[in-house]
Amino acid sequence: MSDSPQWFDEEAGPVVRPYALIRGRTRSSGDTFDLVATVRAIGDPPGELGPEQQLILRAARSPISVADLAVELDLPVGVVRVLLGDMRDHGLISVSSSSAGGTRANERILKEVINGLRAL
Amino acid sequence: MDSVLSEDPVALKILVAGGFGVGKTTLVGSISEIKPLRTEEVLSDRGIGVDDLDGVEAKNTTTVAMDFGRITIREGLVVYLFGTPGQERFWFMWDELSHGALGAVVIADTRRLTDCFPSLDYFEQRGTPFVVAVNCFDGAAQHSVDDVRIALDLDDNVPVMLCDVRRRTSAKEVMITLVEHSLRTLTSAN
Ligand SMILES: Nc1nc2c(ncn2[C@@H]2O[C@H](COP(=O)(O)OP(=O)(O)O)[C@@H](O)[C@H]2O)c(=O)[nH]1
Ligand SMILES: [Mg+2]
Protein backbone atom coordinates (compact mmCIF):
# COMPACT_ATOMS: atom_id res chain seq x y z
CA MET A 1 0.00 0.00 0.00
CA SER A 2 1.38 3.40 -0.90
CA ASP A 3 1.55 6.34 1.44
CA SER A 4 -1.20 8.29 -0.22
CA PRO A 5 -4.82 7.60 0.58
CA GLN A 6 -6.30 4.59 -1.18
CA TRP A 7 -9.82 4.57 -2.48
CA PHE A 8 -12.04 1.55 -2.29
CA ASP A 9 -15.09 3.01 -3.87
CA GLU A 10 -16.73 6.37 -4.18
CA GLU A 11 -18.75 5.96 -1.07
CA ALA A 12 -15.95 4.94 1.15
CA GLY A 13 -13.60 7.87 0.75
CA PRO A 14 -9.90 7.67 1.33
CA VAL A 15 -8.43 5.25 3.78
CA VAL A 16 -6.47 7.34 6.18
CA ARG A 17 -5.54 4.75 8.71
CA PRO A 18 -5.04 1.31 7.28
CA TYR A 19 -5.40 -1.55 9.69
CA ALA A 20 -3.69 -4.77 8.75
CA LEU A 21 -6.51 -6.62 10.43
CA ILE A 22 -9.17 -5.39 8.10
CA ARG A 23 -6.86 -4.89 5.15
CA GLY A 24 -6.87 -1.18 5.37
CA ARG A 25 -10.58 -0.70 5.18
CA THR A 26 -12.38 1.65 7.45
CA ARG A 27 -15.82 1.09 6.00
CA SER A 28 -17.99 -1.95 5.57
CA SER A 29 -21.60 -2.99 5.60
CA GLY A 30 -21.26 -3.00 9.37
CA ASP A 31 -21.02 0.78 9.65
CA THR A 32 -24.57 1.20 10.75
CA PHE A 33 -24.48 -1.36 13.55
CA ASP A 34 -25.59 0.26 16.74
CA LEU A 35 -23.27 -0.05 19.72
CA VAL A 36 -25.95 -1.97 21.56
CA ALA A 37 -27.11 -4.07 18.62
CA THR A 38 -27.19 -7.77 19.36
CA VAL A 39 -24.72 -10.06 17.61
CA ARG A 40 -25.25 -13.79 17.35
CA ALA A 41 -23.19 -16.52 15.75
CA ILE A 42 -25.37 -18.35 13.25
CA GLY A 43 -23.10 -20.10 10.78
CA ASP A 44 -20.55 -22.84 11.02
CA PRO A 45 -17.13 -21.30 10.67
CA PRO A 46 -15.17 -22.23 7.59
CA GLY A 47 -11.66 -23.43 8.35
CA GLU A 48 -9.68 -20.38 7.37
CA LEU A 49 -11.12 -17.71 9.63
CA GLY A 50 -8.75 -15.19 11.16
CA PRO A 51 -8.18 -15.22 14.91
CA GLU A 52 -10.36 -12.15 15.52
CA GLN A 53 -13.23 -13.63 13.57
CA GLN A 54 -12.89 -16.82 15.57
CA LEU A 55 -12.97 -14.82 18.79
CA ILE A 56 -16.09 -13.04 17.64
CA LEU A 57 -17.82 -16.30 16.76
CA ARG A 58 -16.94 -17.75 20.12
CA ALA A 59 -18.06 -14.66 22.03
CA ALA A 60 -21.30 -14.46 20.05
CA ARG A 61 -22.47 -18.00 20.76
CA SER A 62 -24.82 -16.35 23.15
CA PRO A 63 -26.16 -12.92 22.22
CA ILE A 64 -23.68 -10.10 22.83
CA SER A 65 -23.71 -6.40 22.03
CA VAL A 66 -21.36 -4.74 19.54
CA ALA A 67 -19.86 -2.66 22.36
CA ASP A 68 -19.26 -5.69 24.58
CA LEU A 69 -17.54 -7.43 21.68
CA ALA A 70 -15.22 -4.47 21.19
CA VAL A 71 -14.31 -4.56 24.87
CA GLU A 72 -13.83 -8.32 24.83
CA LEU A 73 -11.58 -8.20 21.76
CA ASP A 74 -9.88 -5.03 22.96
CA LEU A 75 -10.33 -3.44 19.56
CA PRO A 76 -11.72 -0.07 18.54
CA VAL A 77 -15.40 -0.15 17.70
CA GLY A 78 -14.70 0.90 14.13
CA VAL A 79 -12.54 -2.15 13.51
CA VAL A 80 -15.08 -4.46 15.10
CA ARG A 81 -17.82 -3.04 12.89
CA VAL A 82 -15.82 -3.78 9.75
CA LEU A 83 -15.21 -7.33 10.91
CA LEU A 84 -18.87 -7.79 11.81
CA GLY A 85 -20.05 -6.40 8.49
CA ASP A 86 -17.94 -8.94 6.63
CA MET A 87 -19.00 -11.77 8.86
CA ARG A 88 -22.63 -10.95 8.41
CA ASP A 89 -22.18 -10.76 4.65
CA HIS A 90 -20.73 -14.27 4.84
CA GLY A 91 -23.62 -15.59 6.88
CA LEU A 92 -21.58 -16.23 10.01
CA ILE A 93 -23.45 -13.91 12.32
CA SER A 94 -26.69 -12.05 12.60
CA VAL A 95 -26.80 -8.50 13.87
CA SER A 96 -30.02 -7.02 15.01
CA SER A 97 -30.93 -3.86 16.78
CA SER A 98 -34.66 -4.09 16.52
CA SER A 99 -35.05 -3.53 20.22
CA ALA A 100 -32.51 -0.74 20.52
CA GLY A 101 -31.15 2.21 18.68
CA GLY A 102 -34.04 3.47 16.68
CA THR A 103 -36.90 3.46 19.08
CA ARG A 104 -37.34 4.73 22.56
CA ALA A 105 -38.47 2.19 25.08
CA ASN A 106 -42.11 1.91 25.95
CA GLU A 107 -43.76 2.71 29.23
CA ARG A 108 -43.77 -0.82 30.53
CA ILE A 109 -40.07 -1.25 29.96
CA LEU A 110 -39.17 2.06 31.57
CA LYS A 111 -41.18 1.16 34.67
CA GLU A 112 -39.36 -2.13 34.79
CA VAL A 113 -36.04 -0.32 34.57
CA ILE A 114 -36.99 2.05 37.38
CA ASN A 115 -37.95 -0.84 39.62
CA GLY A 116 -34.82 -2.72 38.64
CA LEU A 117 -32.63 0.25 39.50
CA ARG A 118 -34.34 0.66 42.85
CA ALA A 119 -33.61 -2.97 43.62
CA LEU A 120 -29.90 -2.68 42.81
CA MET B 1 -26.05 -23.48 17.32
CA ASP B 2 -27.00 -24.93 20.62
CA SER B 3 -30.41 -23.41 21.12
CA VAL B 4 -33.36 -21.89 19.43
CA LEU B 5 -32.91 -18.17 18.98
CA SER B 6 -34.47 -16.34 21.84
CA GLU B 7 -35.95 -12.91 21.52
CA ASP B 8 -33.55 -10.04 21.13
CA PRO B 9 -32.58 -8.48 24.41
CA VAL B 10 -33.93 -5.02 25.06
CA ALA B 11 -30.88 -2.79 25.21
CA LEU B 12 -31.26 0.76 26.46
CA LYS B 13 -28.68 3.50 26.21
CA ILE B 14 -28.01 6.22 28.73
CA LEU B 15 -25.39 8.89 28.12
CA VAL B 16 -23.30 10.43 30.84
CA ALA B 17 -21.91 13.78 29.79
CA GLY B 18 -20.15 16.73 31.31
CA GLY B 19 -16.84 18.55 31.31
CA PHE B 20 -13.45 17.06 31.95
CA GLY B 21 -12.92 15.81 35.50
CA VAL B 22 -16.50 16.36 36.54
CA GLY B 23 -17.08 12.77 37.59
CA LYS B 24 -18.39 10.87 34.56
CA THR B 25 -16.10 7.90 34.95
CA THR B 26 -16.72 7.82 38.68
CA LEU B 27 -20.49 7.84 38.22
CA VAL B 28 -20.51 5.02 35.68
CA GLY B 29 -18.16 3.02 37.89
CA SER B 30 -20.30 3.55 40.98
CA ILE B 31 -23.32 1.89 39.49
CA SER B 32 -22.02 -0.59 36.96
CA GLU B 33 -19.11 -2.73 36.01
CA ILE B 34 -17.13 -0.24 34.01
CA LYS B 35 -14.90 -0.91 31.05
CA PRO B 36 -13.09 1.37 28.66
CA LEU B 37 -14.48 1.18 25.17
CA ARG B 38 -12.20 2.33 22.38
CA THR B 39 -13.67 4.16 19.49
CA GLU B 40 -11.73 5.19 16.48
CA GLU B 41 -13.27 7.69 14.19
CA VAL B 42 -12.13 8.56 10.73
CA LEU B 43 -12.39 12.27 10.38
CA SER B 44 -13.20 12.06 6.69
CA ASP B 45 -16.66 10.97 7.79
CA ARG B 46 -17.20 14.14 9.65
CA GLY B 47 -17.86 16.80 7.15
CA ILE B 48 -14.27 17.53 6.33
CA GLY B 49 -14.02 17.99 2.60
CA VAL B 50 -12.26 15.21 0.81
CA ASP B 51 -9.79 17.68 -0.59
CA ASP B 52 -8.69 18.57 2.90
CA LEU B 53 -7.32 15.08 3.27
CA ASP B 54 -5.02 15.23 0.28
CA GLY B 55 -1.62 13.98 1.22
CA VAL B 56 -2.64 13.14 4.76
CA GLU B 57 -2.00 9.61 5.87
CA ALA B 58 -2.10 8.10 9.26
CA LYS B 59 -3.25 10.86 11.54
CA ASN B 60 -6.79 11.57 10.53
CA THR B 61 -8.42 9.41 13.11
CA THR B 62 -9.36 10.22 16.63
CA THR B 63 -9.13 7.58 19.28
CA VAL B 64 -11.37 8.20 22.21
CA ALA B 65 -11.92 5.97 25.19
CA MET B 66 -15.48 6.06 26.40
CA ASP B 67 -16.66 4.86 29.75
CA PHE B 68 -18.85 1.89 29.12
CA GLY B 69 -20.98 0.30 31.78
CA ARG B 70 -23.72 -2.27 31.83
CA ILE B 71 -26.57 -2.75 34.26
CA THR B 72 -28.52 -5.95 33.83
CA ILE B 73 -32.06 -5.33 34.98
CA ARG B 74 -33.06 -8.89 34.20
CA GLU B 75 -32.22 -11.40 31.56
CA GLY B 76 -33.14 -9.75 28.31
CA LEU B 77 -33.25 -6.19 29.65
CA VAL B 78 -29.99 -4.32 29.87
CA VAL B 79 -29.13 -0.68 30.41
CA TYR B 80 -25.88 0.46 28.84
CA LEU B 81 -24.13 3.55 30.11
CA PHE B 82 -21.81 5.55 27.91
CA GLY B 83 -19.67 8.24 29.47
CA THR B 84 -18.44 10.65 26.87
CA PRO B 85 -16.41 13.84 26.99
CA GLY B 86 -18.49 16.95 26.78
CA GLN B 87 -16.48 19.10 24.43
CA GLU B 88 -17.94 19.86 21.08
CA ARG B 89 -15.20 18.05 19.25
CA PHE B 90 -16.58 14.79 20.60
CA TRP B 91 -20.07 15.37 19.34
CA PHE B 92 -19.49 12.91 16.53
CA MET B 93 -19.68 10.21 19.17
CA TRP B 94 -22.80 11.61 20.70
CA ASP B 95 -24.62 11.66 17.39
CA GLU B 96 -24.40 7.93 17.36
CA LEU B 97 -24.95 7.42 21.06
CA SER B 98 -27.94 9.68 21.38
CA HIS B 99 -29.72 7.89 18.56
CA GLY B 100 -32.50 6.07 20.35
CA ALA B 101 -31.02 6.84 23.74
CA LEU B 102 -33.28 6.76 26.74
CA GLY B 103 -31.75 9.95 27.99
CA ALA B 104 -28.67 11.62 29.36
CA VAL B 105 -27.16 12.63 32.66
CA VAL B 106 -25.29 15.92 32.48
CA ILE B 107 -22.90 16.22 35.40
CA ALA B 108 -22.12 19.71 36.56
CA ASP B 109 -19.51 21.11 38.92
CA THR B 110 -20.56 24.40 40.46
CA ARG B 111 -16.96 25.65 40.42
CA ARG B 112 -17.00 25.60 36.63
CA LEU B 113 -20.58 25.45 35.54
CA THR B 114 -19.89 26.64 32.02
CA ASP B 115 -18.18 23.32 31.26
CA CYS B 116 -21.54 21.67 30.93
CA PHE B 117 -23.06 24.23 28.57
CA PRO B 118 -22.16 22.34 25.39
CA SER B 119 -23.78 19.20 26.78
CA LEU B 120 -26.96 21.05 27.69
CA ASP B 121 -27.10 22.70 24.29
CA TYR B 122 -26.64 19.42 22.57
CA PHE B 123 -29.39 17.54 24.36
CA GLU B 124 -31.78 20.47 24.23
CA GLN B 125 -31.32 20.72 20.48
CA ARG B 126 -31.67 17.00 20.06
CA GLY B 127 -34.72 16.69 22.25
CA THR B 128 -32.98 14.02 24.32
CA PRO B 129 -34.44 13.88 27.84
CA PHE B 130 -31.77 14.81 30.37
CA VAL B 131 -31.24 15.53 34.03
CA VAL B 132 -28.56 17.71 35.56
CA ALA B 133 -26.64 16.10 38.39
CA VAL B 134 -24.54 18.54 40.40
CA ASN B 135 -21.56 16.61 41.70
CA CYS B 136 -20.77 17.89 45.18
CA PHE B 137 -17.02 17.84 45.43
CA ASP B 138 -15.58 18.22 48.90
CA GLY B 139 -14.88 21.79 49.72
CA ALA B 140 -16.96 23.17 46.90
CA ALA B 141 -19.47 25.69 48.10
CA GLN B 142 -22.90 24.12 48.21
CA HIS B 143 -25.35 25.74 45.89
CA SER B 144 -29.04 25.10 45.89
CA VAL B 145 -30.54 23.33 42.93
CA ASP B 146 -32.56 26.46 42.28
CA ASP B 147 -29.40 28.54 41.95
CA VAL B 148 -28.01 26.00 39.51
CA ARG B 149 -31.24 25.90 37.54
CA ILE B 150 -31.17 29.67 37.15
CA ALA B 151 -27.46 29.79 36.34
CA LEU B 152 -27.94 27.15 33.65
CA ASP B 153 -31.17 28.69 32.38
CA LEU B 154 -32.91 25.33 32.43
CA ASP B 155 -36.51 24.60 31.60
CA ASP B 156 -38.68 24.04 34.63
CA ASN B 157 -39.29 20.43 33.72
CA VAL B 158 -35.60 19.46 33.65
CA PRO B 159 -34.73 17.70 36.90
CA VAL B 160 -31.74 19.16 38.75
CA MET B 161 -30.28 17.28 41.68
CA LEU B 162 -27.28 17.25 43.96
CA CYS B 163 -25.25 14.08 44.04
CA ASP B 164 -22.02 12.46 45.08
CA VAL B 165 -21.03 10.34 42.13
CA ARG B 166 -18.72 8.23 44.30
CA ARG B 167 -21.65 6.83 46.24
CA ARG B 168 -23.63 4.05 44.71
CA THR B 169 -26.91 5.08 46.29
CA SER B 170 -26.45 8.59 44.96
CA ALA B 171 -25.56 7.32 41.49
CA LYS B 172 -28.64 5.11 41.60
CA GLU B 173 -30.82 8.04 42.53
CA VAL B 174 -29.50 9.98 39.54
CA MET B 175 -30.27 7.13 37.16
CA ILE B 176 -33.75 6.60 38.58
CA THR B 177 -34.49 10.31 38.28
CA LEU B 178 -33.44 10.21 34.64
CA VAL B 179 -35.54 7.18 33.74
CA GLU B 180 -38.54 8.67 35.54
CA HIS B 181 -38.02 11.85 33.57
CA SER B 182 -37.79 9.89 30.32
CA LEU B 183 -40.98 8.11 31.25
CA ARG B 184 -42.76 11.41 31.86
CA THR B 185 -41.46 12.74 28.56
CA LEU B 186 -42.71 9.64 26.83
CA THR B 187 -46.16 9.62 28.36
CA SER B 188 -46.71 13.35 27.91
CA ALA B 189 -45.85 13.00 24.24
CA ASN B 190 -48.66 10.49 23.71
N1 LIG C 1 -13.75 14.69 46.36
C2 LIG C 1 -14.42 14.25 45.31
N3 LIG C 1 -13.73 13.81 44.28
C4 LIG C 1 -14.40 13.33 43.21
C5 LIG C 1 -15.80 13.31 43.15
N6 LIG C 1 -16.18 12.84 41.96
C7 LIG C 1 -15.07 12.56 41.28
N8 LIG C 1 -14.00 12.85 42.03
C9 LIG C 1 -12.62 12.73 41.62
O10 LIG C 1 -12.42 13.64 40.57
C11 LIG C 1 -11.58 13.08 39.60
C12 LIG C 1 -12.22 13.14 38.24
O13 LIG C 1 -13.35 12.29 38.20
P14 LIG C 1 -13.68 11.43 36.91
O15 LIG C 1 -14.84 10.57 37.23
O16 LIG C 1 -12.46 10.77 36.41
O17 LIG C 1 -14.10 12.60 35.91
P18 LIG C 1 -14.41 12.50 34.36
O19 LIG C 1 -13.31 13.18 33.65
O20 LIG C 1 -15.69 13.28 34.19
O21 LIG C 1 -14.57 11.06 33.97
C22 LIG C 1 -11.27 11.67 40.05
O23 LIG C 1 -10.00 11.68 40.65
C24 LIG C 1 -12.34 11.38 41.06
O25 LIG C 1 -11.90 10.50 42.06
C26 LIG C 1 -16.51 13.79 44.30
O27 LIG C 1 -17.73 13.80 44.34
N28 LIG C 1 -15.78 14.24 45.35
MG1 LIG D 1 -13.39 10.05 32.62
- Tell whether A31 is covered by a domain: yes
Interchain CB distance below 8 Å, B42 and A107: no
pLDDT at position A50: 85
State the closest ligand 1 atom to the C-alpha of B22, by its place in the atom list counted from 1: 20
What is the rounded CA–CA span in Å between residue A36 and residue A69?
A: 10
ipTM: 0.85
pLDDT at position A4: 40
pLDDT at position B61: 64
What is the rounded CA–CA span in Å between residue A7 and residue A16?
A: 10
Interchain CB distance below 8 Å, A5 and B57: yes
pLDDT band at A12 (very low <50, low <70, confident <90, very high): very low
State the closest ligand 1 atom to the C-alpha of B67, by its place in the atom list counted from 1: 21
The ligand with the least distance to the CA atom of B139 is 1
Residue with CA at minimum distance from ligand 1 atom 6: B23
Residue A49 burial by Cβ neighbours in a 10 Å radius (0-12, 13-18, 19+): middle
Domains of chain B with bracketed CATH:
9-189 (3.40.50.300)
- Whether B24 is in the pocket of ligand 1, judged by its Cβ within 6 Å, is yes
- H helices present in B61-144, as ranges: 91-97, 117-126
- Whether B75 is in the pocket of ligand 1, judged by its Cβ within 6 Å, is no
Q: What is the mean pLDDT of residues B100-109?
A: 95
Query: Out of A16, A38, A67, whose CB is closest to B56?
Result: A16
Dihedral angle, C-alpha B90, A87, B80, B185, nearest 10 °: 80
pTM to 2 decimal places = 0.84
pLDDT at position B150: 95
Which percentage of chain B shows pLDDT scores above 90? 59
Handedness of CA A77, A79, A83, A86 (dihedral sign): positive
Q: What is the least distance, in Å, from the CA of A3 to any CA of chain B?
A: 7
pLDDT band at B166 (very low <50, low <70, confident <90, very high): very high
- Tell whether A63 is covered by a domain: yes
Q: Is residue B33 within a helix (H) or strand (E), and if so which, with residue range?
A: strand B33-42
What are B112-153's pLDDT values in tens digits? 999 999 999 999 999 999 999 999 988 777 788 999 999 999
pLDDT at position A56: 94
- Whether B164 is in the pocket of ligand 1, judged by its Cβ within 6 Å, is yes
What is the rounded CA–CA span in Å between residue B68 and residue B81?
A: 6
Domain that holds residue A71: 18-118
Q: How far is CA A45 from the centre of its chain?
A: 17
What is the rounded CA–CA span in Å between residue B37 and residue B29?
A: 13
What are B26-74's pLDDT values in tens digits? 999 999 988 889 887 655 444 444 444 444 344 456 677 889 999 999 9
pLDDT at position B4: 43
- Tell whether A4 is covered by a domain: no
Nearest Cα residue to A4 out of A23, A15, B46: A15
What is the rounded CA–CA span in Å between residue B76 and residue B6?
A: 9
For residue A27, give the CATH number of its domain: 1.10.10.10
Interchain CB distance below 8 Å, B172 and A74: no
What are A42-88's pLDDT values in tens digits? 977 777 788 889 999 999 999 999 999 999 998 888 889 999 999 99
Q: Is residue B74 within a helix (H) or strand (E), and if so which, with residue range?
A: strand B61-74
Q: What is the mean pLDDT of residues B105-115?
A: 94
- Whether B127 is in the pocket of ligand 1, judged by its Cβ within 6 Å, is no
Residues in B closer than 8 angstroms to A99, CB to CB, are: 8-11
Q: Is the pLDDT of residue B2 over 50?
A: no
DSSP structural state of residue B51: G
Query: How many structural domains does chain A have?
Result: 1
Q: How many CA atoms lie within 13 A of B8 on its CB side?
A: 17
